[in-house]
Amino acid sequence: MADNARAKKLADLIREVVAQKLQRGVKDPRLGTHVTITDTRVTGDLREATVFYTVYGDDEDRASAAAGLESAKGILRSAVGAAAGTKFTPTLTFVADALPENAKTIEDLLDRARASDAKVRETSSGAKYAGEADPYRKPGGNEDDEDAAAE
């Protein structure tokens, strides 16, 4: 078993090598410049690496980018092996990152909360207190209140 620091270093190296290779070395038109490597995780035994990526575009672009990454997996693994210099080059698994969808969901929830807050603010704009504005007794206040308390 490798320590976590070594796995983290290897994960960072894999992320950089794969991103550079996708940008300059792979000639697949399906990958283009709209594929972004967001994160990489390596197992504790340094045998498997999961590479998370995002694709800017529609579902068709995402599907073609996934197919392009699967076809370029061997080239990318060779580049990682040459850069890492380890005894065993980890196998690469590409996973579409759910970050954009999660961010959109959070933005939608925040928009709903803002709309709800605006509705409450609009409803309460002309509202008045049910009693007095300050319902607490103050020392040296009304004498009528003191007389009522004494009875």
SS (H, E, C) the chain: CCCHHHHHHHHHHHHHHHHHHHHHHCCCCCCCCCEEEEEEEECCCCCEEEEEEEECCCHHHHHHHHHHHHHCHHHHHHHHHHHHCCCCCCEEEEEECCHHHHHHHHHHHHHHHHHHHHHHHHHCCCCCCCCCCCCCCCCCCCHHHHHHHHC
99-138 tens-digit pLDDT:
777 888 999 999 999 999 999 888 888 777 777 777 787 8
| pLDDT mean over 55-64 | 85
> Rounded to whole angstroms, what are the CA distances from 4 to 23, 45, 48, 83, 115?
29, 10, 14, 19, 45
Is the pTM higher than 0.85? The answer reads: no
- Which tens digit of pLDDT belongs to each residue from 25-35? 788 777 766 78
